[in-house]
Chain A
Amino acid sequence: MGDWCLIESDPGVFTELIRGFGCEGVQVEELYSLDDESFCQLRPIYGLIFLFKWRQGDEPSGTLDADSKNIFFAQQAISNACATQAIVNLLLNVHEQEIKLGSTLEEFRDFVSGFDSANIGLALSNQEKIRTVHNSFARPQVFELDIRSPAKEDNYHFITYVPINGRIYELDGLREAPIDLGPIKEGEDWLTTVRPIIARRIEKYNEGEIHFNLMAVIGDRKAKYEKRLAEIAEAGMDSDDVAQEVYNLQSMIHDEEEKMKRYRKENVRRRHNYIPFIVEMLKILAKEGKLVPLVEQALDKNAKKELEKEAQKKTAET
Chain B
Amino acid sequence: MSVLFANAAANQRTTSGHLLEFKAGRSALEQGSTPATRKVVSDKAKGTIFIKQSQDQLMHFCWKNRESGNVEIDLIVFPGDTEFIPVKECKDGRVFILKFKSGGDRRIFWMQEPKPDKDDEICKKVNDLLNNPPALRSTGGRSTTEKSSAFGNLANFSGALGNGEDMGAFSNMDQNQLMQLLSLMNSGGAADALLPQLSLNANAAARESPSATPPPRTAQNAAASKAPAQAIDANQAIQLSQLRDILSSIPATSSRQQRNVVELSEVLAAKNVRDSALANKDRLISHLPDQEEKTEQELKETLTAPQFRQAVDTFGHALQTGQLGPALQHFNVGEAAVNAANSGDLLAFSKKLTEVEQKTGGKSTDDVNAQINAEAKAEESTESAIQEPKPKRGKKDDDDDNMGLD
- Give the interface of A toward B (CB within 8 A): 3, 5, 135, 138-139, 141-148, 265-266, 268-292, 294-299, 301-303, 306, 309-310, 314
Contacts and interface: CB of A to CB of B under 8 A. Distances in A.
Contact of A278 (B31, B36, B252, B311): B311
A277 to B, nearest CB: 4
A271 B311 CA distance: 11
Contact of B284 (A277, A289, A310): A277
Q: Is the interface of A mostly helix, strand, loop or mixed?
A: helix
Contact of A144 (B251, B323, B351, B358): B323
Interface string B311-328: 111110110010110011
A269 B318 contact: no
A16 B31 CA distance: 27
Contact of B35 (A3, A147, A266, A271): A3
Contact of B262 (A138, A265, A295): A295
Contacts of B260: 299, 302-303, 306
B376 interface: no
B132 to A, nearest CB: 29
Given A144-B29, A280-B364, A298-B267, A268 B354 contact: no
B310 interface: yes
Given A276-B287, A283-B353, A3 B36 contact: yes
Contact of A269 (B35, B305, B350, B354): B305
Contact of A148 (B263, B280, B310): B310
A266 B307 contact: yes
Contacts of A299: 260, 262, 346-347
Contacts of A289: 354, 358
A269 B308 contact: yes
B246 to A, nearest CB: 15
B299 to A, nearest CB: 9
Contact of B315 (A269, A275, A302): A275
The 4 closest A-B pairs by CB, nearest first: A272-B289, A287-B362, A277-B287, A269-B307
Contacts of B263: 298
Nearest to A314: B248
A178 B273 CA distance: 52
A152 to B, nearest CB: 10
B272 interface: yes
Interface in B357-374: 357-358, 361-362, 364-365
Interface residues on B, range: 35 or more
Contact of B365 (A143, A266, A283, A285): A283
B362 A298 contact: no
Contacts of A148: 310, 314
11 contacts: A142-B327, A146-B314, A278-B268, A279-B331, A281-B277, A282-B350, A286-B358, A290-B273, A292-B347, A298-B267, A302-B261
A280 B284 contact: yes
B26 to A, nearest CB: 15
B123 to A, nearest CB: 22
Contacts of A302: 260-262
Contact of B38 (A144, A273, A314): A144
B342 to A, nearest CB: 14
Interface hub of A287, A289, A303 (most chain B Cβ within 10 A): A287
Contacts of A273: 311
A135 B273 CA distance: 32
B12 interface: no
B333 A283 contact: yes
Contact of B34 (A3, A272, A290): A3
A282 to B, nearest CB: 6
B290 interface: yes
Given A5-B35, A291-B354, A299-B262, A280 B307 contact: no
Nearest to B361: A287
Contacts of A268: 289-291
Nearest to B289: A272
A149 B290 CA distance: 27
B104 interface: yes
B11 interface: no
Nearest to A296: B347
Nearest to A266: B307
B236 interface: no
Contact of B350 (A3, A147, A286): A286
Contacts of A301: 262, 266
Nearest to A3: B36
Given A265-B301, A298-B266, 8 more contacts: A3-B34, A145-B317, A147-B313, A268-B289, A272-B311, A274-B287, A286-B357, A292-B350
B288 interface: yes
Nearest to B106: A145
Interface string B267-292: 11000110011001001100111110
Contacts of A265: 291, 301
Interface string B237-254: 000000000001001111
Nearest to A297: B267
A211 to B, nearest CB: 19
Given A272-B289, A281-B277, A286-B354, A294 B272 contact: yes
A270 B310 CA distance: 10
A306 B254 contact: yes
Given A269-B307, A277-B284, A286-B354, A295 B267 contact: yes
B172 to A, nearest CB: 28
